Amino acid sequence: MFSTKENAAKLAIAAVSLLVLIKIVASILTGSLGIRADLVHSVLDLAAAVIAFIGIRISNRPADTLFIGVAVSMFTAIVVTRTLLRLFVGSRLARKTSLFSVYSGKGNV
């Protein structure tokens, strides 16, 4: 269906970008917290699609040694994880502890 993996990744980025734009408009028009939460999920999907595209581009180059490849992968994973955690911890969403538990502390279990 697609001539290359790179074209498939480009199509995925375009489709998810369109979905993000639609959800932004829907969130603004309705004010729905559920749509806004799904928007955040779609933005993360977009980030994953972009990372996949970059990975596909890198994989088309000649192979490096195994050590260099593992070191670059570990460094990238650490930096991305640290950045996402810092963004989340600093957000207002992280301060709402009721979002992270099933039991809210009211009534008997």
Specify the pLDDT at position 22: 96
pLDDT band at 101, cuts 50/70/90?
Answer: low
pLDDT band at 42, cuts 50/70/90?
Answer: very high
Specify the pLDDT at position 89: 76
Is residue 25 pLDDT above 70, yes or no? Answer: yes
Whether this prediction's pTM lies above 0.85 is answered by: no
CB neighbour class for 9 (10 Å; exposed up to 12, middle 13-18, buried from 19): buried
N-to-C CA span, the chain:
54
Which of 19, 11, 58, 18 shows the shortest CA–CA distance to 35? 19
pLDDT band at 83, cuts 50/70/90?
Answer: confident
pLDDT band at 97, cuts 50/70/90?
Answer: low
Please state which of the ranges 21-35, 39-53, 70-84 shows the lowest mean pLDDT.
Answer: 70-84
